[in-house]
Structure 1
Amino acid sequence: MHFKTVAIVGRYQDSGLDAPIRSLANTLVSTGCSVLLEATTAQNAGITEFPIGDYAQIGEHADLAIVMGGDGTMIGAARELAHSKVPLIGINHGRLGFITDIPLNDANDALLSVLKGEYDVEERSMLEGRVVRDGQVLYSGVALNDVVINRAGRGGMIELRVELDGVFMYRQRSDGLIISTPTGSTAYALAASGPLLHPSLKAFLLVPVAPQTLSNRPIVLPDTGTLNLTITALGRVESGGSVHFDMQTWSDCQQGDRIDVRRSQDTIRFIHPKGYSFFSTLRQKLGWNHIPLPNDENE
């Protein structure tokens, strides 16, 4: 891939991004690339000296999008650019950074290596889903991390009937259910005691949130089918239920609604500098390489 036009997307709520964005943009210009700043990023950073465009224009003109922020910023950009197939590279300006894997201090050197062709391409799957009531689609969305169904209020649990391609799997009473991609297995699913999935797997991960019975355990399924999740009961009917597609929420679910989830036809391509390893990321972010010493608990 040749990156002639490179877009820059920044974390919108961050202050102090103007300096690193300008530095990054000037590095790109010095190599002969054209720069296109995402409109909200440019407005919040107060940068006007480079061309500005919305996501539609980025999808049409950019050969690469650099996302400077946290994983949430990357997820938002991925959702916007998935259909246009623009590859993404992430520079971590957030906290954890599972998918924005380049440290800010290494950004310029890493970017120069990528522009020279020294990079690896990784493809990640996405989910698409819809909320159906009486045969009518009320809401639809896509997700890079997960689709989450949960109770909207504080009282009671939500009860779901779970099917795969129309074949009954189980009923579950819980606070909610996470349907995760392998990418999302390091996000909410991990916090709810789900397993880690390698990003290359073609699979769904179902993780119950605070289930009523211990027999409701996480399960990994092939992503070739469609999950059908019907809300059969709500702890309090008036409280309703919610469905979250990453950062997009539908909060008007009612008893009898069905949520269909399947693998999206769109995928996300991540660009990594040479030497990237998913396992290295886990060691750094989750402390896999840490072996407690006998006296650690007393220190």
Structure 2
Amino acid sequence: MDVGIVARKGSERAVAVAADLRDAVAATGASVWVDTETADALGTGTGRSVEALADCDLAVAVGGDGTFLFAARNAGDTPIVGINLGEVGFLNAVSPSNATEAVLDEVAAFGRDEMDVREVPRLAARSGGWTSVPAANEIVVQGERRGPGAGIDYAVHVDGARYSGGHADGLLVATPTGSTAYNLSERGPLVHPSVSGLVVTEMVADEGMPPLVTDIDSTVTVSVEGVDETVVVSDGRNATALDAPAEVTVERTTPPMRIAGPPSDFFEALGKLS
């Protein structure tokens, strides 16, 4: 078994937890490594690129939800356990005090071929021959700027049927996981992780429709005019500028994000938002 561990950048606490986990996993006889930056912080100089997570049997993310998403962007279909050093922890379900037990439980379960893995959807945008980096939270389609005097002229179709259109700062398509992230700040609905759906939220629309929850396999198409460039953003990063007018299609993609370890308590995490 091969286990890769990624710690939050610049966090001494995350590095310390990662070191403890590395030693505990190594004691079981499994192969284990930490990412390059964590190795540098530990002074070992034997880390690997986070891209190597895609070739592991288990990835461990030590930090907040941002660290988890960072690991997930590189992990492909490798199962991920999240150790929560952040404030909320929708993705990172394990506390530092339970980290060693939780990770070793997954190592043992792998050996028995009994690892319990939950799959959650990812999204991708495409336009012409271009396809975005997969997103676990959301895809945003917008112009170069937001606010007064900016934004986009758009039309949005869901499975070929027109849903809305007009002028707005942009349009956001979120997974249930992402409903608690950027979608929530744009006044989109909270979606329980057990619900198999996508959230379509117009961002500061002049005359928009209420946010829509549609089927997880829906195709959302956004046609953009009125700007020189259409900007597509995946999980708050990896922004790509496309020539406008443009048509951007957002759909579920493979592989899904795979989460191992104990599940998070959705309502407990929600309580930390208030």
Q: TM-score range by the shorter chain?
A: 0.7 to 0.9
Distance of 1:165 and 1:225 partners within structure 2: 6
Distance of 1:167 and 1:184 partners within structure 2: 24
1:149 counterpart = 2:141:
yes
> If you compute each CA radius of gyration, which structure gives the higher value, 1 or 2?
1
Deviations along 1:188-220, one digit per CA (max 9) or x if unpaired, are: 11111111112233321011111112x421001
Question: Displacement of 1:276 after TM fit?
Answer: 4.4
Which deviates further from its counterpart, 111-120 or 250-259? 111-120
* TM superposition score normalised by structure 1: 0.80
Q: Give yes or no for contact 2:88–2:273 (8 Å, CA) kept in 1.
A: no
Q: Which runs of 5+ in 1 are unaligned?
A: 288-299
Matches within 5 A, 1:86-235: 86-117=78-109, 120-132=116-128, 137-138=129-130, 140-154=132-146, 155-213=149-207, 215-234=208-227
Which deviates further from its counterpart, 240-249 or 202-211? 240-249
Distance of 2:251 and 2:172 partners within structure 1: 13
Query: Residue 272 of structure 1: SS of its match in structure 2?
Result: coil
Query: Residue 33 of structure 2: SS of its match in structure 1?
Result: strand
Question: Displacement of 1:42 after TM fit?
Answer: 2.2
Letter in 1 for 2:102: A
Q: Give yes or no for contact 2:80–2:258 (8 Å, CA) kept in 1.
A: yes
Relative to structure 1, is the Cα distance of residues 57 and 130 closer, same or farther in structure 2, using a 3 angstrom cutoff?
same
Q: Give yes or no for contact 1:92–1:103 (8 Å, CA) kept in 2.
A: yes
Relative to structure 1, is the Cα distance of residues 271 and 260 closer, same or farther in structure 2, using a 3 angstrom cutoff?
same
Distance of 1:219 and 1:65 partners within structure 2: 34
1:38 counterpart = 2:35:
yes
Q: Give yes or no for contact 1:10–1:17 (8 Å, CA) kept in 2.
A: yes
Deviations along 1:155-201, one digit per CA (max 9) or x if unpaired, are: 32212111123332221321111100111011011111111112233
Question: Displacement of 1:114 after TM fit?
Answer: 3.6
Aligned residues: 268
1:277 counterpart = 2:265:
yes
Distance of 1:278 and 1:227 partners within structure 2: 27
Distance of 1:148 and 1:73 partners within structure 2: 20
Query: Residue 141 of structure 1: SS of its match in structure 2?
Result: coil
Q: Give yes or no for contact 1:242–1:249 (8 Å, CA) kept in 2.
A: no
Q: Percent identity?
A: 31
Distance of 2:79 and 2:209 partners within structure 1: 38
Relative to structure 1, is the Cα distance of residues 156 and 252 closer, same or farther in structure 2, using a 3 angstrom cutoff?
same
Letter in 2 for 1:18: V
Matches within 5 A, 1:256-271: 256-271=245-260
Root-mean-square deviation (CA, aligned residues, Å) is: 2.4
Distance of 1:281 and 1:272 partners within structure 2: 17
Question: Displacement of 1:258 after TM fit?
Answer: 1.2
Deviations along 1:98-136, one digit per CA (max 9) or x if unpaired, are: 11121223322333344444974311010011233xxxx
Matches within 5 A, 1:241-252: 241-252=230-241
Letter in 1 for 2:54: G
Matches within 5 A, 1:3-14: 4-14=1-11
Q: Give yes or no for contact 1:124–1:200 (8 Å, CA) kept in 2.
A: no
Relative to structure 1, is the Cα distance of residues 18 and 249 closer, same or farther in structure 2, using a 3 angstrom cutoff?
closer
Question: Displacement of 1:223 after TM fit?
Answer: 2.4
Relative to structure 1, is the Cα distance of residues 231 and 70 closer, same or farther in structure 2, using a 3 angstrom cutoff?
same
Letter in 2 for 1:101: A
